Amino acid sequence: MNYFSSDFKLGILGGGQLGKMLLFDTRKFDIQTYVLDPSEDAPSKVACNQFFQGDLMDFETVYNFGKIVDVLTFEIELVNLEALEKLEAEGLPVYPSPKTLRLIQNKGIQKDFYAQKNIPSAPYTRFPDLKALQHAVEMEEILIPFVWKCTEFGYDGNGVKVIRATTDFEGMPDVECIAEEMIPFKNELAVIVCRNPSGEIKTYPVVEMEFHPEANQVEYVICPARIDDAVAEKARAIALNVSEQFNHVGLLAVEMFQTEDDEILINEVAPRPHNSGHYSIEASYTSQFENHLRAVLDLPLGNTESKVAGIMVNLVGEEGYSGNVVYENIETVLGWNGVTPHIYGKKQTRPFRKMGHVTIVNADIKEARRIAEDVKNTLRVISE
């Protein structure tokens, strides 16, 4: 297949920031792209060849979009699975496959899959609704504290909650869920695996999520993770295994816990480019986005090693600010060594909205970490 400067069309479901960054590479290779997204202000709208506005959960919309492209991929999991299944059955290459997505989209099914395949993961129990979970807690079948997760449509911490008392149930949605045992862990790690339909498979180095000591929020994604080589090897091996078991194509971001005794447990996976791989644009020989593109087009995968150390800081809207966004002090941080802001193109900020990220690269990871902290303390996402 001739993908380059030809009539070939890659369809992408979702036009958010992940799609936007994927389009840097489709443009670099001059591969024609069609994008479907519900928002007329989608960040991908500029830089795709054709933009279609429509509902990603609507069968007809997704199916009709699929019929006019040659290969279909997505940058968000919340898409109509039945449409993908019908398109695949009719012969359209859909990557990742809807079979893989069906195993991942529901966290209950995902956990069952790990149990079935002997992939280490925290103990859990599935519940059809909130009432059933509350009953189990009353019966002391489930012990407080535990982690509640809704099985579908959660994102960015939305849909995950630590339950420390029965009063925490107040105001929670009455949806299918799981209760997961709380595992004390030393580190939260992630490995991005890349696999093409021919079966070529590569992993990116292990990255580490560094948490704010009080706020318990991820502050920095650090590549490479500052962990023992043996632990890193174990994490990569588990990620490879997960990818192969899912038989997935494209990128699979595998989030993991490193327990107090250096066990690795799978937390969850995302079958697409991932926040934990944004550092790769500046730090890696081949970015996660380029490798996703290579994978879904069954091209050879690029080198996943790093040129230099990379640290990523998310840019989220500050509390107390809503409206036309201003990146306060962005000129200041641009003056620092190896600092690259990525602005996603959302015109309006609101508290905690993901507006961009900043990558800090340096040959010396300690220096990168120091500059990252300065960036974190200097650049603020506020409103006019």
Q: In what order do the strands lie in the sheet with 348-349?
A: 348-349, 323-328, 380-383
234, 248, 294, 376: which one contacts a copy of itself (CB under 8 A)? 294
Instruction: Look at residues 315, 308, 296 and name the one whose alpha carbon lies nearest to residue 381.
Output: 315
Q: What is the C-alpha separation between 368 and 365, in angstroms, rounded?
A: 5
Q: What is the C-alpha separation between 287 and 381, in angstroms, rounded?
A: 26
Q: Are 295 and 194 in contact (CB under 8 A)?
A: yes
Name which of 155 and 285 has its Cβ closer to a copy of itself. 285
137, 182, 308, 382: which one contacts a copy of itself (CB under 8 A)? 308
- The answer to the question of whether 264 is labelled as a binding residue is no
Query: Does 285 participate in binding a copy of itself (rule CB under 8 A)?
Result: yes
Q: What is the C-alpha separation between 29 and 258, in angstroms, rounded?
A: 38
Q: In what order do the strands lie in the sheet with 32-37?
A: 50-53, 32-37, 9-13, 71-74
| Residues 6 or more apart in contact with residue 241 via CB below 8 angstroms | 119
Name which of 162 and 334 has its Cβ closer to a copy of itself. 334
Q: Which stretch binds a copy of itself (CB under 8 A): 86-94, 144-152, 234-242, 297-305?
A: 297-305
Helix axes 59-67, 81-89, angle to 10 degrees: 30
Query: Does 247 participate in binding a copy of itself (rule CB under 8 A)?
Result: no
Beta carbon of residue 329, minimum distance to a copy of itself (angstroms, whole number): 12
Name which of 24 and 352 has its Cβ closer to a copy of itself. 24
Name which of 225 and 371 has its Cβ closer to a copy of itself. 371
- The answer to the question of whether 182 is labelled as a binding residue is yes
- The answer to the question of whether 267 is labelled as a binding residue is yes
Q: Which stretch binds a copy of itself (CB under 8 A): 58-66, 177-185, 259-267, 286-294?
A: 286-294
Query: Does 98 participate in binding a copy of itself (rule CB under 8 A)?
Result: no
Query: What DSSP state is assigned to residue 169?
Result: G
Q: What is the C-alpha separation between 256 and 187, in angstroms, rounded?
A: 8
Partners of 78 in beta bridges: none
Name which of 159 and 341 has its Cβ closer to a copy of itself. 341
16, 18, 20, 318: which one contacts a copy of itself (CB under 8 A)? 20
Size of the site for a copy of itself (CB under 8 A): 47
Q: What is the x/- site pattern for a copy of itself, positions 43-82, by CB under 8 A? A: ---xxxx---------------------------------
Beta carbon of residue 314, minimum distance to a copy of itself (angstroms, whole number): 16
Which is it for strands 32-37 and 50-53: parallel, antiparallel or unpaired? parallel
Angle at 40 between CA 294 and CA 65, to 5 degrees: 50
| Residues 6 or more apart in contact with residue 337 via CB below 8 angstroms | 362, 367, 371
- The answer to the question of whether 183 is labelled as a binding residue is yes
Q: List the interface residues with a copy of itself, window 343-382 (CB under 8 A).
A: 343-347, 356, 361, 363
Instruction: Look at residues 373, 377, 361 and name the one whose alpha carbon lies nearest to residue 329.
Output: 377
Which chain residues interact with a copy of itself by CB under 8 A? 2, 4-6, 20, 23-24, 27-30, 46-49, 285-286, 290, 294, 299-300, 302-303, 307-308, 324-327, 330-331, 334-335, 337-347, 356, 361, 363
State the binding site for ATP: 107, 149, 180-183, 188, 267-268
**Residue numbering of the annotated binding site:** 107, 149, 180-183, 188, 267-268
